[in-house]
Structure 1
Amino acid sequence: MSLTSSSSFPRAGFRRRLASWLYDALIAVAVYMTAGAASFLIISLMVHFGLFDLQGYQHLSDTIRNTSWLLWPNELWKLGWVSMFFIWFWSKSGQTLGMKAWRLKVQNQDGSLISKTTALKRLLPTLFGLGNFTVLVDRKNKLSLQDRLTNTEVVLLTLEANRGRL
């Protein structure tokens, strides 16, 4: 397998980014739901073993939804897993599953893989994909808000360069 420099690929346009975002949004929802099921199981076991009770509610889901000391850690747990999905794939291979499907790769502007710290910094300005709309305004450079703030870029790979494992 030839190692082609990733810095030689063109930057990705808005439509491919949007299509990739749609794929990844579905996966992120699945990760969120799976993390929610795991937290529900953990909280259920805590109630079962008497660490706390249902706080006067009839169902555990009502207890979680209406008890702030359960609700906020539960939500942070789920969002943490979704965040780790993106951080893991961006720093490991530069591609999430949606990006792989659309032959996109996030990288530093020198073509190297981004670090976990840079991936974490990309999360907030991504704004659930809204940061990509700046590509429509910046058609020449094709840089999103998160690209600009982290000195990264999303490039369009060739079919050959996109082959391989995640």
Structure 2
Amino acid sequence: MSAEFPRAGFWRRFASLVYDTLAIIAFAMLTVVLYLFAIQGLISLDVIALNGAEDVSARIQDSLLLSGIRSSLLVLVGLVFFGYFWTKSGQTIGMRAWRLKVQTNQGSLISWPQAIIRSISAFLGLGNLVVLVDFKNKKALQDYLSKTEVVTLTKEENKRVYRELD
């Protein structure tokens, strides 16, 4: 456990996840729009045919490959969002608002492999439910699997982390 800062409880983590979900939805929408434009471009160039579909969205929905690519892109958006913020400063947008920071058990920034393990093992935030029963350690499933912890920062430390990004 971090000697300097206490581990974060469930409700702070949940509130942070709500903020981050809103940001990810915005990135996901942008990704889907760009994907639609790309597929429409390929249809215009006769690389892909509509195959009787009403429009580009219907064509994507009718194709296992195209819908699979779209789904993969959306998963990638989430992985890159969390991975980038966690490896750069230890804080996502929501974590910064709620003064949370993810770090290794030794207190340093996490690596990309740890970020990917955390993201996948969080199961859309459900991994945080473990915190509700882990009274002693206040660790989520993703914390255990990635050998990380989420701590609550003081206001001063939160500002210092933010200033270091400049």
TM-score tier (shorter): over 0.9
Name structure 2 gaps, 5 residues minimum: none
Q: Could you say which residue in structure 1 is the equivalent of 2:61?
A: 65
- Indicate if the aligned counterparts of 1:7 and 1:111 stay in contact, CA closer than 8 A: no
Q: Match of 1:140?
A: 136
Instruction: Report Cα offsets for 1:44-95 as digits up to 9, x if no partner.
Output: 1111111111111121110001111211011101221221001100111100
SS in 1 for 2:122: helix
1:51-90 superposed matches below 5 A: 51-90=47-86
* Aligned residue pair count: 161
Letter in 2 for 1:58: E
Give the root-mean-square deviation of aligned CA atoms: 1.2
How high is the sequence identity, in percent, across the aligned residues?
A: 45
1:21 aligns with 2:17: yes
Moved over 6 A (4+): none
Quote the Cα distance in structure 2 between the aligned partners of 1:106 and 1:52. 44
Q: Give distance in 2, aligned partners of 1:7 and 1:86.
A: 25
Provide the C-alpha distance between the structure 2 equivalents of 1:70 and 1:149, rounded to a whole number of angstroms: 32
Deviation at 1:43, TM superposition (A): 0.6
Aligned to 2:96: 100
Conserved? CA contact 1:10–1:156, under 8 Å: yes
After TM superposition, the score normalised by the length of structure 2 is 0.93
Aligned counterpart, 1:34: 30
User: 1:99 and 1:46 mapped to 2: Cα distance?
Assistant: 39
TM-score (ref. length: structure 1): 0.93
DSSP 3-state at the match of 2:101: strand
